[in-house]
């Protein structure tokens, strides 16, 4: 029987829950919106040490020092969900795409609502960047962590792409 290692941790966008298998990260969720795990079929063992590499990369991301995550993922979902989540991984840091863009990227151009539902079920927030998906109009919509968190993540990425440069006043 497989068991998962987990840890709960504070972050700049609120408490997070992380869980990993031997293959990679299975969950990164906002504490208030966790999808159910069945401990009778998948026992959970708390281990900050097992999740330490993921925590380091997240800390680097929040500090504006990391634009890509390098640790393995163990994504679990339907074939359609996996296609959506892999398309999300292709969205460059600091950029956004529409639900329609993702639907076209996976070969289902009219399935943008289904893409939205797949994003809603994304088990690895932030690293599988569903926060980078916006409405075709350019407005923010739908995010499991809340629109305020989505805005914070997008602002964080924009700020580290365009850091303030010194003006050279008095030079």
Q: Can you tell me the distance from the alpha carbon of 15 to that of 129, in angstroms, rounded to the nearest whole number?
A: 17
Q: Are 20 and 48 in contact (CB under 8 A)?
A: no
Q: Give the single-character DSSP code of 13.
A: T
Rg (CA), the chain: 17
Q: Give the single-character DSSP code of 139.
A: -
Query: 44 forms bridges with which residues in the sheet?
Result: 4
Give yes or no: 164 in active site. Answer: no
- Which residues are the active-site residues? 130
């Amino acid at each position: 029987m497989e068991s998962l290692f987990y840890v709960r941790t504070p972050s700049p966008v609120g408490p997070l829950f992380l869980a990993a298998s031997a293959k990679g990260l299975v969950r990164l969720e906002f504490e208030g919106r966790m999808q159910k795990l069945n401990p009778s079929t998948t026992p959970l063992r708390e281990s900050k040490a097992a999740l330490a590499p993921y925590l380091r990369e997240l800390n680097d991301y929040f500090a504006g020092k990391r634009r890509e995550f390098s640790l393995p993922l163990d994504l679990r979902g339907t074939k359609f969900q996996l296609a959506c989540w892999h398309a999300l991984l292709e969205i460059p840091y600091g950029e956004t795409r529409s639900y329609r863009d993702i639907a076209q990227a996976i070969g289902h151009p009219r399935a943008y609502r289904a893409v939205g539902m797949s994003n809603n079920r994304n088990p690895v927030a932030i690293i599988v960047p569903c926060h980078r998906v916006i409405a075709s109009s350019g407005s923010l919509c739908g995010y499991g962590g809340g629109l305020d968190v989505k805005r914070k993540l997008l602002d964080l990425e924009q700020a580290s792409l365009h850091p303030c440069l010194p003006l050279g006043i008095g030079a």
